[in-house]
Amino acid sequence: MAIANYFSTYHELVLQRILAGLTKLYPHQREALLSIYQKAMRGEMNSIPRQAALILCGVGTGKTLIQALTPFILAPWMSAEKVLFLSDNCTLRSRFIKDFPTTAQGRPIYDQWLLYSLEILPPGVPPPTIVELDANNFESYAFALHSASMLVANRQFLLNLVTRGDIEPTSIGLIVVDEAHFSAAQSYRTIVNYFESSLLTYFTGSKFRSDSQPLPNVHYSQIADLDELGNTVIRYAPDADYEFSLQQAWRMDPPPIKKLTLSEASSKAFVIEENGEEIAYDFETFINRARSDRQWFRQILLADSFCLPVLQKAVEVLLSKRSATGQPHAMIVRALNIAHVHRVAKLLEDNFPVLEGKVGVIHSEHDEYDLAGRASEILQRFYRGDLWVLVHCGMIGVGFDHPWASVSCCLCVLKSLSPAEQEWGRIIRRVPGEAAGKFPNLTHPNWGVIVTHESLGIYSLFQEFLKGKESDAISQTNLIKKTKPALTCPYEAGETVLTINEVGDLKPGDVLQLTAIIEPSSSAPPKFNLAAELGSLTQAAPEIINLEDDVPNDAAMIDSNAHSGLERLPLFYGVDGPDTVYKEQPLPKEAEVKMITERLQEIRTTRTVNVCVEAVLNDHQVQITPTWIDLPQGATVQKSRSLKELEEVSFIEHLGLDWQVWVDNKLVSFAEYKKSVLLQQKGLELNESGDICANGISLKQTMAAAVYETFLKGIEAELANFEVEIPHAGNVIVRPDVAKMNLQNQYGAKVRALVQDIFKQRHLVPDGPSGTSLIKGPVKLLSDAIERVTANGYEADFKNNSQLIHAALFGYIKEKTGRSWSEHNEQQYKEAWQLGWSFIRQLIEQLRWRKRIIVNRPVVVDSEELEF
């Protein structure tokens, strides 16, 4: 069983370890998690309408781990204990599950879990329980969903479960959406709307959808971009809560992803094949025609003579990389259109014998993923290493995950950074081996290589990609700004009505924070003087003097003897006469003084009051509990947010002082645990006071003080070199779906083995398992099974003896237990096996009795003799 409210139980522990720097997370992973936490702390994630936390992270930068830690961070705001991890297809779903490997029995392999190897969870803390929602096996473990803290699903299958109502909507407290730029689709909206009380977090490495549609529950800014042909289009850049770009990843040492370099083939111009003839274009002419004649652009082919030098260079890089590293590096080729895809694939196999049978082609959606979201056979063969090269025309994108893809061959026009980033991102995931160095190396395992033709003009785009393109970056400010609520009429002290430009979702009981800058009146005291504020000039530092205060007309009045300890101020007369006084040079710290002065002035002129809404009168007026401060028109109005209180919060200790382990359902110092293990090996123990005891007697009381001190020093010396195995949570089942399937298959095999016992005795069923003698002349147990099938409205269409006995056996077990085979627990499976064994014994006896009657039967046999 999963621990109730698992993520709430360990929320504080994980958060404190992250804050104290006790984990091995990358800085950007830590910052992404804290940005989500801050958004929740501001009350934005459980507002109405919902706001999703949006994290933009490039391929290979540890996005999956951030997703896995998100529920630990958001636990206090979750309305339920379960978390749903939603992927767009089965490939992405399986990739998430790979980070939580288990044995065949569903137990965690701790040293392969990043949660433990990166020291996010201390040893001994039990892991979360995970169920992968798989359409192939769902009915076999559906009832085990209640014991899971993490559900992992792909969109297509989850939509079916939502439509049927198989998952209670209030059981999900958080939805974590991978590759969230897909979430604008209607199917995602249906799922999100079904789980209406869940928090939302979106993760993606792609800023834009190809159709420029915005994601739901996300704020956007409008920016200009270019399409493939250089035409200006309007796109919407999401305002991310945190972004970690590929460029930032490359600046890390060592980088968590491959570095990229560009290698170009050369010729004088584009060579296009039209109507069987090769025609050369310069770049400008080609682009102009492509813009004006889109039909021509879709149908043309880059000529073989143009493509072959590029393919030659790309294949050389691929083969040299495979040879130098001994690793199964692979290549992706992007062609111009579908016809060009097939032409390029043929060129590869015809001109490079080593690639014969190793080139795959993808040019339609069904070739990439089937309708259930499973990767196609072509992709599976590429992942397995059977195919070395994959040729496509824009179909390899998000969800494609093959770390050994290290060469990208571009035989197409890429005029915008967005498709280029999508294409080159496929070869960026890091592989085992040394991290990429400072200088490009075509054979290095973690240097990805982009091979193209210089006439395609990709070099400048690649340079922009390496630096990061400003127009594709997340906008720092919204171009479409939402109107901020503000007073449209001045408020006079004591009034009970506020007039504002937008009431929004205000309701009685809400607390409003009103903020305004109050301009000082003409009778106000003189401008703030820091020296006076500090008490007197003699108490202030000599350099803290504000020359912007009033200066006497007679500069000679400023005398070096007037104030002891103060140097004479360097002054000179201005051109307008002695009434104008100028500073010769800025005083030390004058800038700091001015800044402090301005900030204090701002604080003193800002008025902030809180008022309670008693009623909403109309679209622009609310009734409030009056306040006794005047506020001008334009004062800002902000709804105060009350944070959800943490339930049953208990302070553990300052985790940064020592490593902690979870032992016997409590968190203890690892040093203390290590010491107790060492003492146990010596037959000693610690009492409640921390004294070392032997058989319950304190050694401190029985040893001389000097001897006891020497003994303690010896223990400390041993501890310095003493290694102890870190305790984990024992035989915890973290995959109840896997454990259930394993248990079901294990006992299913034992029950099916009982059937084989019958066929091993050939004299009982002479025509064997594939015969039909038992169907034509069934004994009573088999007759009952046939009647049971027909009584349920099905046709008893058994193909052979084996099929009949299997159906009879499992039908008998279901009849006796009242449960289908998938609904048993371990003890019930044992009972089911006993029932199966009893059934087979009875069946064998009936078959033996019938055999005996047939052998010894008289010439005339009464039909009643065959009754049992």
Taking the C-alpha atoms of residue 422 and residue 209, their distance in angstroms, rounded to an integer, is: 11
Report in angstroms the alpha-carbon separations of 601 from 139, 514, 631.
69, 19, 18
Buried b (16+ CB within 10 A) or exposed e, 144-161: bbeebbbbbbbbbbbbeb
pLDDT at res. 333? 93
**275 vs 350, residue with greater confidence:** 350
Domains 53-244 and 256-468 equal at CATH topology level: yes
| DSSP-derived 3-state class of residue 607 | strand
Q: Is 50 exceeded by the pLDDT of residue 220?
A: yes
**Contact by Cβ (8 Å): 635, 627:** no
Q: What are phi and psi of 268, to 5 degrees?
A: -80, -25
pTM score, two decimals? 0.61
| DSSP-derived 3-state class of residue 731 | coil
Residue 663 token pair = 């032992």
709-740 per-position pLDDT tens digit: 888 888 888 887 787 766 666 678 888 888 88
Who contacts 803 (Cβ-Cβ below 8 Å, separation ≥6)? Answer: none
- Domain boundaries, given as residue ranges, for the chain: 53-244, 256-468, 487-634, 655-721, 736-866
Buried b (16+ CB within 10 A) or exposed e, 610-620: ebebeebeeee
Of residues 805, 808, 800, the one with CA closest to residue 758: 805
Taking the C-alpha atoms of residue 90 and residue 157, their distance in angstroms, rounded to an integer, is: 9
Tell me the torsion sign for CA atoms 173, 177, 181, 186. Answer: negative
pLDDT at res. 211? 54
Q: Is 80 exceeded by the pLDDT of residue 24?
A: yes
What kind and span of H or E run contains 171? Answer: none
Q: Percentage of the chain with pLDDT > 90?
A: 18
Residue type, 699: L
pLDDT at res. 596? 61
Would you mind telling me the total number of residues written for the chain in this entry? 868
Residue 106 token pair = 């569903």
Who contacts 709 (Cβ-Cβ below 8 Å, separation ≥6)? Answer: none
* Largest distance between two CA atoms of the chain: 150
pLDDT at res. 254? 82
Report in angstroms the alpha-carbon separations of 663 from 124, 530, 726, 728.
6, 58, 10, 8
pLDDT at res. 719? 82
663-710 per-position pLDDT tens digit: 666 667 777 778 888 888 888 888 877 788 888 788 888 888 888 888
Pairing of strands 389-392, 359-362: parallel
pLDDT at res. 318? 94
- CA-based end-to-end distance of the chain: 47
How far is C-alpha 394 from the geometric centre of its chain's CA atoms? 25
**Contact by Cβ (8 Å): 230, 251:** no
pLDDT at res. 408? 92
Report in angstroms the alpha-carbon separations of 164 from 108, 159, 188, 330, 370.
32, 9, 16, 42, 22
Return the CATH fold of 53-244: Rossmann fold (3.40.50)
Q: What average pLDDT does this structure show over 297-318? A: 87
Report in angstroms the alpha-carbon separations of 177 from 188, 208, 294.
9, 16, 36
Q: What average pLDDT does this structure show over 6-12? A: 91
Q: Is 50 exceeded by the pLDDT of residue 573?
A: no
Q: What are phi and psi of 798, to 5 degrees?
A: -90, 135
Taking the C-alpha atoms of residue 634 and residue 628, their distance in angstroms, rounded to an integer, is: 18
Q: Is 60 exceeded by the pLDDT of residue 137?
A: yes
Instruction: Give the burial class of 479: count Cβ atoms within 10 A of its Cβ; 0-12 exposed, 13-18 middle, 19 or more buried.
Output: exposed
Banded pLDDT at 65 (limits 50, 70, 90): very high
Return the CATH fold of 256-468: Rossmann fold (3.40.50)
pLDDT at res. 267? 66
Buried b (16+ CB within 10 A) or exposed e, 40-77: beebebbeeebbbbbbbbbbbbbbbbbbbbbbbbbbbb
What kind and span of H or E run contains 578? Answer: strand 577-583
Q: What are phi and psi of 569, to 5 degrees?
A: -75, 130
Q: What average pLDDT does this structure show over 804-815? A: 90
Banded pLDDT at 39 (limits 50, 70, 90): very high
Bridge partners for 516 per DSSP: 607
Angle at 827 between CA 825 and CA 833, to 5 degrees: 100
438-481 per-position pLDDT tens digit: 888 888 999 999 999 888 878 888 887 777 644 333 333 333 34
